[in-house]
Amino acid sequence: MLPPSVSKTLSFLRAMTSPSTFFRGQVGDGREQRLLEHVVAEAEPGNPKSVLDVIDRYTASKGTWFMNIGDDKGPILDSVVERSNPRLALELGAYCGYSAVRIASRMKDPNGLLISIEMNPQNVQIARKMVEIAGLSDRVRVLEGTLESCLAELKSIIRDELQLSAIDLVFIDHNKNVYLKDYLQLKEEGLLKSGSVIVADNMGFPGSPSFWRYLKKNAQELHTVEHRCKFEYIGWISDIVTVSTCV
What pLDDT score was predicted for residue 101?
A: 98
Whether the per-residue pLDDT at 186 is higher than 90: the answer is: yes
In this structure, the answer to whether residues 10 and 48 fall within a common structural domain is yes
In this structure, the answer to whether residues 101 and 193 fall within a common structural domain is yes
DSSP code of 44? P
In this structure, the answer to whether residues 85 and 117 fall within a common structural domain is yes
What pLDDT score was predicted for residue 105?
A: 98
| Residue, of 220 and 3, whose pLDDT is higher | 220
In this structure, the answer to whether residues 167 and 230 fall within a common structural domain is yes
Total tally of structural domains belonging to the chain: 2
What pLDDT score was predicted for residue 2?
A: 77
In this structure, the answer to whether residues 166 and 220 fall within a common structural domain is yes
Ramachandran quadrant class, 27 (left: phi over 0; alpha: psi -120 to 50; beta: rest): alpha
In this structure, the answer to whether residues 21 and 106 fall within a common structural domain is no
Confidence of residue 45 (pLDDT cuts 50, 70, 90): very high
Q: Is 61 exposed, middle or buried (0-12, 13-18, 19+ CB in 10 A)?
A: exposed
Percent of the chain with pLDDT over 70: 100
What pLDDT score was predicted for residue 4?
A: 76
CATH number at residue 233: 3.40.50.150
187-239 pLDDT per residue, tens? 999 999 999 999 999 999 999 999 999 999 999 999 999 999 999 999 999 99
**CA dihedral sign of residues 34, 204, 175, 243:** positive
The alpha-helical segments, DSSP class H, found in 134-208 are: 147-155, 179-188
In this structure, the answer to whether residues 41 and 100 fall within a common structural domain is no
Amino acid at residue number 5: S
**113-118 and 140-144 strand pairing:** parallel
C-alpha distances (whole Å) from 209 to each of 73, 176, 179, 237 are 20, 9, 9, 18
C-alpha distances (whole Å) from 154 to each of 91, 99, 112, 204 are 12, 19, 15, 29
What pLDDT score was predicted for residue 71?
A: 94
- Host domain of residue 20: 4-62
Whole-model pTM? 0.96
What pLDDT score was predicted for residue 3?
A: 82
In this structure, the answer to whether residues 113 and 170 fall within a common structural domain is yes
142-176 pLDDT per residue, tens? 999 999 999 999 999 999 999 999 999 999 999 99
